[in-house]
Amino acid sequence: MKAEVDSWRTFSRRIQDALELAQLNDESLRAEMETEISAIETDLEKRSFTAMLSGKHDHDSAILAIHAGAGGTDSQDWAAMLERMYLRWIETRGFKADILDITEGEEAGIKSVTIAVEGEYAFGYLRSEKGVHRLVRLSPFDAAHRRHTSFALVEILPQVSMEEAEIDIEPGDIKMDVYRSSGAGGQNVQKNATAVRLTHIPTGIVVTCQNERSQSQNREFAMRILRARLLELKQAEKEEERAVLRGEYTKAEWGSQIRSYVLHPYQMVKDHRTDYETGNAQAVLDGQLDELIDSYLRSTT
């Protein structure tokens, strides 16, 4: 809190200093003042963006999971495209990505991937991405090169600590299995059973972690994911109960996509929640997500 308050006080002094210089009305300072005002405006924009991240877990790191939907190889390739998009965005944001678990597709792409995203406000930014993402394109896996529609589900969970999770997990409620991590072969294939699969017996939730680390580290990360999933389940039950009481509950299903990415017959990315759209689909797929995230956060504050 002290660092946050000090940061705002420093920013306030910077604005005051600029105002005092401007009041001198010295033409020789014009170029310097224009540069400083531009820098202040950029800083203010960043601060106003961060101010929208005021949810309970917005300041936390995040767990990002991508699951290919129905559609076979096309959807698995789409899931891999989304993984690349988010990894690029994570890199440009200065966050750290750690792939905890991945299941490769049979021909191409991935069936699912779970990524730990470490960084301040990672969950706050990424919560805008939760939902079904739809891709329309000419399929590279169709011999007739016809247009295909593919779906992938993106899950965003906060990385909450044991103290913050508000979830009590009884040791007897967990079944743990260990197995060898899958790999592409060669020297990197795990010779020891370090991958961990945890099953939460009361809910049936299964989480896996098969990063190239020790069994104890994999179990620790798997427990972190399990706590996050149980917290999400608890919150979803509360939201569902409130929605039913208000008479407005509708179940989220495939087809209720939050965003569409169209690569043929034209290029467009459209967020169906905010109606924000851009014609530069390739830039979005290369990780330029800030405008989409910004429009969503502004629509919900």
One-character DSSP codes across 122-182: HHHHHGGG-EEEEEEEE-TT-TT--EEEEEEEEEEEE---TTTS-----GGGEEEEEEPPP
Q: What is the pLDDT of residue 212?
A: 66
pLDDT digits (tens, 9 = 90+) for 119-161: 989 999 999 999 999 999 999 988 788 889 999 999 999 987 6
Q: What is the pLDDT of residue 126?
A: 96
Name beta bridge partners: 81: none
* Domain-located, residue 179: yes
* Domain-located, residue 252: no
Residues 67 and 148 in one domain: yes
Look up the CATH number of the domain holding residue 291.
3.30.70.1660
Give me the half-sphere count of Cα atoms (radius 13 Å) on the Cβ side of residue 146.
Answer: 6
The count of domains in the chain is: 3
Residues 153 and 269 in one domain: yes
* Domain-located, residue 124: yes
Look up the CATH number of the domain holding residue 200.
3.30.160.20
Q: What is the pLDDT of residue 182?
A: 66
Residues 199 and 138 in one domain: no
Q: What is the pLDDT of residue 157?
A: 93
For the whole model, what pTM was predicted? 0.79
Q: What is the pLDDT of residue 9?
A: 96
Q: Which residues of the chain have pLDDT under 70?
A: 161-166, 182-192, 212, 242-255
Give the other-Cβ count within 10 Å of 243's Cβ: 12
Q: What is the pLDDT of residue 137?
A: 94
Residues 70 and 125 in one domain: yes
Here the tokens at position 182 are 């899958």
